[in-house]
Chains A and B, each alone.
Chain A
Amino acid sequence: MPILDHLWIIPLLPLLGAAINGLFGLKWPNKIVNTVALGSTGLSFVCAVEAVREFITFVAPTGQVFRKEFFDWIVAGNFRAGFDLQMDQLTVVMVLVVTGVGFLIHIYSTGYMAHEGGYYRFFSYLNLFMFFMLVLVLAANYVLLFVGWEGVGLASYLLIGFYFLRKSASDAGKKAFIVNRIGDFGFMLGMFLLFRTFHTLDFSQLFAAVRSSGMPHEAWGVFGTFTIASLLLFMGATGKSAQLPLYVWLPDAMEGPTPVSALIHAATMVTAGVYVVARSHLLFENSETALVVVAVIGCATAFFAATIGLVQTDIKRVLAYSTVSQLGYMFLACGVGAFSAGIFHLMTHAFFKALLFLAAGSVIHAMGGEQDMRHMGGLSKKIKVTYWTMLVATLAISGAPLFAGFFSKDEILFDDYTEAGSGGHILYAFGLLTALLTSFYMFRLIFLTFHGKQRYDEHHVHVHESPWSMLGPLVVLAVLSIFGGWFALPAFFGGPDYFANFLSPVFHAQEPVGLSEAAAHSLEWTLAIVAVVTATAGFLAAFWLYLRQPGKPEQLAKSLKGIYTTLYNKYYVDELYSAAVVRPLVWLSENVLWKVVDVEAIDGTVNGIAHGAASVGDTVRHTQSGNARSYAVWVVVGALAIIAILFWPNIRPMFGMLIRMTVTR
């Protein structure tokens, strides 16, 4: 197993690329930077494929997890956190998605960023991101995972603020970083709690300890170790994966270049939260409360973000809210215990959402930087490849039959519906409603951008199709968006679900559905038909509103002014956070921390010491008379003092004698 035994090579290659480009790329022409960046990620992808092949051939049949310790990192007492990598079925999916989609986006970026300044810097950051993301998914313990977790946050920060001269971009970068800190705080507390309880943070040891500990399953409302640890880890996940209430950074993150939005803020990094929840499924499964919270937050986010997406006019913002919404779906799946469905949606979403972003980037490129859909329209004939690939992605995300999103979304909705208790039906209803909204806003985007009347000035905007370095990845991703879901296709005809079967060593048996095989099968068909009808309804609504009756949306916006402005302003969440968190913090920093603590206490102490030294010096300086004999006096006094100290025991009786003599006299 040449590669599997040297698993470190997969993350190391992008790190090398990042270092080489970052250190020497400034003076190099774009071609060399390309070679380094694409070469390192491409090789990493090849190595990943080979490692996966070796894993499936040699390790998977034994039912084991491949795990290797490369070197010790932190060893303290009985705590050990090493640079340990592991590969199991879940890692396989993640590694292939990260390196594969990452490589495609690298290719795309060579076209998209060709005329931008800081070309080497961009690729250096992008490679750095790949390194940390691979560390995240390959890590065999929570500590190393956290290294990757923070690292991708750093790369995200650097890339959102890539155009750092634009204030909105650097602000968005800071916002992303700070909001993620809140989640990371929870994540770390979760790790501490796990370590305190189980004395290890290594995945295999920890989960073995969980299994053998015999700690009881925690019912709804019981806040034991599992519940608290799961909720704290989930807090980290809400930050990284942009769920309520920490989702606010993701829409702003669209300030970064479009390939970054595709790679980091759609396909890979934001799914890290889902990955962590899936990785820790054993903890979540032991706590009813945690699962319900995950499901409810996921469901609420999916619906909430979809409603905002309905009225946004910036093409990338629509996609950003769509991403938040789809991530909600993944958590919804995890929350009802359908972890493999969540990971399945993670994978298909990586394909079609990366494609949507890249296609949107191609549109923006064609329009010379325009992002507002109100100034587009009628582009379908001018940029055909972009149009068709984007249409494929839209069909996939809307859940058109046989496209990738159809299978994954269907599985999630099915698992919601069959979830025990009435809660499942509510989740299902909201999930279905979100599917309707998704289909509506995605086709709205397509119609506004590619169909209808041309709403830009042809003299100013020279619409042109993108180069093949950009279109190639679009086509590959379009193919994946169509066929990526076919692992689950046989399930519809009574066969096995290959994807769920593949992941079953990680997630073990799914909870029994409580239905007979045949009933479950017919229910699946029924639900699939319902989902398709819903998606079609969304499509028709968009079709009618934006193609047939172009004036209608504005009328509708006027007649529903309250709702429209609320949605348009994203429920005023940013304003709410600003009033509730940001401004009090700024006030506290300015009036207490700055003016009292800093100026009075810290500066006061330092200045006080300086003033004290000055005034002491002012007094003492008079002893320096310039008269050599007075110095001699000090020398003598000093010598006497030293003698007195050294011989104090011998001298003391003399003093006693003197005192007695005076007293008797």
Chain B
Amino acid sequence: MVPTQYYLILSAILFGLGAVAFVFRRNIITIFMSIELMLNAVNLAFVAFSQASGKLDGQIFVLFVIVVAAAEAAVGLGIIILTARNRQSLNVERADLLKL
């Protein structure tokens, strides 16, 4: 059996990649994908813990995360389409209206 640490290290690497990509990429779709990557890194950690402890809690949590991620993808893609239409661009640098 594969030791739990391996899963966790993989999960950490994936999460780190996602976080770095989120911060440094400019394309909204890439950023969106990096968010999915982070979510799945977490899912992996959950499943790994679930297997290690022999309880189902982690797996149930993963299902929740998948559902939320699906919903998020639906809403997020809608936002992305609107942004792209309004700005003629997918560059997040130009979506800075959060500033006062």
Q: Is B23 a contact of A626 with CB atoms below 8 Å?
A: no
Confirm or deny: A629 has a beta carbon within 8 angstroms of a beta carbon on chain B: yes
In this assembly, does A624 line the interface, its C-beta being within 8 Å of a C-beta of chain B?
yes
Q: Which residues of A contact B31 (CB under 8 A)?
A: 629
Binds A, one of B1-9, B39-47, B57-65, B91-99: B91-99
Chain B's closest residue to A635 (CB) is B19
B-side contacts of A632, CB under 8 Å = 19, 22-23
Main secondary structure of the interface of A (DSSP, over half): helix
Taking A632-B22, A633-B23 as contacts, is the C-beta distance between A624 and B100 under 8 angstroms?
Answer: yes
* B residues less than 8 Å from A422 (CB atoms): none
Closest B residue to A639 by beta carbon equals: B19
* Contact digits for A625-637, partner B, Cβ 8 Å, 1 yes 0 no: 1111100110010
Partner of B93 from A624, A627, A633, A636 at Cβ < 8 Å: A627
**How far apart are A647's CB and chain B's nearest CB, in angstroms?**
13
Task: Among B19, B22, B97, point to the contact of A626 (Cβ < 8 A).
Answer: B97
CB contacts (< 8 Å) of A633 on chain B: these are 23
CA distance A624 to B97 in the complex (A): 11
| List of A residues within 8 angstroms of B100 by Cβ | 624, 626
Q: How far is the CB of B35 from chain A (nearest CB, A)?
A: 10
Are B19 and A625 closer than 8 Å at their CB atoms? no
Asked if A625 contacts B99 (CB within 8 A), the reply is: yes
Q: Are A629 and B95 in contact (CB under 8 A)?
A: no
Contacts of A125-162 to chain B: CB distance below 8 A: none
B31 to chain A, nearest CB (A): 8
Q: How far is the CA of A624 from the CA of B99 in the complex (A)?
A: 6
Give the number of chain B interface residues (Cβ < 8 Å). 13
Q: Which of A625, A628, A636 makes the CB contact (< 8 A) with B95? A: A628
**Quick one: closest B residue to A631, CB to CB?**
B98
Q: Which of A624, A629, A632, A633 has the most CB of B within 10 A?
A: A629
Q: How far is the CA of A636 from the CA of B95 in the complex (A)?
A: 21
Contact with B along A611-655 (1 / 0, CB 8 A): 000000000000011111100110010000000000000000000
Tell me the bound Cα distance from A629 to B99 in angstroms: 13
A624 to B24, CA, bound (A): 18
User: Which of A624, A625, A628 neighbours the largest number of chain B CB atoms within 10 Å of its CB?
Assistant: A628
Q: How far is the CB of A102 from chain B (nearest CB, A)?
A: 70
Residues of B near A626 (CB, < 8 A) are: 96-100
Look across to chain A and name the residue whose beta carbon is closest to the beta carbon of B20. A636
> Chain B residue with minimal CB distance to A625?
B99
A627 to B19 alpha-carbon distance, docked (Å): 16
- Shortest A244–chain B CB gap in Å is 71
CA distance A629 to B95 in the complex (A): 10
Instruction: Using CB atoms, name the residue of chain A closest to B95.
Output: A628
Complex alpha-carbon distance, A624 and B100, angstroms: 8
**Which residues on the B side are within 8 Å of A629 (C-beta)?**
22-24, 31, 92
Which of A624, A627, A636 touches B92 (beta carbons < 8 Å)? A627
B76-98: which have CB < 8 Å to A? 92-93, 95-98
In this complex, what residue of A is CB-closest to B97? Answer: A626
Instruction: Please report the C-alpha to C-alpha distance between residue A626 and residue B19 in the assembled complex, in whole angstroms.
Output: 19
Q: A499-535 interface mask toward B, CB cutoff 8 Å, 1 = contact, 0 = none?
A: 0000000000000000000000000000000000000
Residue ID in chain A nearest B31 by CB atoms: A629
B37: min CB distance to chain A, Å: 14
How far apart sit A636 and B24, CA to CA, in the bound complex (Å)? 13
Q: Which residue of A lies closest to B93 (CB)?
A: A627
Q: Is the CB of B96 within 8 A of A627?
A: yes
Q: Which residues of A contact B99 (CB under 8 A)?
A: 624-627
**How far is it, in angstroms, between the C-alpha of A197 and the C-alpha of B19 when the chains are bound?**
76
- Nearest chain B CB to A637's CB is how many angstroms away? 10
Considering only residues 583-627 of chain A, those with a C-beta below 8 Å from chain B are: 624-627
CA–CA, A636 and B20, complex, Å: 9
Q: In the assembly, what is the distance between CA of A44 and CA of B23, in Å? A: 85
Query: Could you show 29 A-B contacts with beta carbons less than 8 Å apart?
Result: A624-B98, A624-B99, A624-B100, A625-B96, A625-B99, A626-B96, A626-B97, A626-B98, A626-B99, A626-B100, A627-B92, A627-B93, A627-B96, A627-B98, A627-B99, A628-B92, A628-B95, A628-B98, A629-B22, A629-B23, A629-B24, A629-B31, A629-B92, A632-B19, A632-B22, A632-B23, A633-B23, A636-B19, A636-B23
Given contacts A626-B98, A629-B92, A636-B23, 12 further A-B contacts (CB under 8 A): A624-B99, A626-B97, A627-B93, A627-B96, A627-B98, A628-B92, A628-B95, A628-B98, A629-B31, A632-B23, A633-B23, A636-B19
Which residues of chain B have a CB within 8 Å of any CB of chain A?
Answer: 19, 22-24, 31, 92-93, 95-100
Q: Which are the 4 A-B pairs with shortest beta-carbon distances?
A: A626-B99, A626-B96, A626-B98, A627-B96
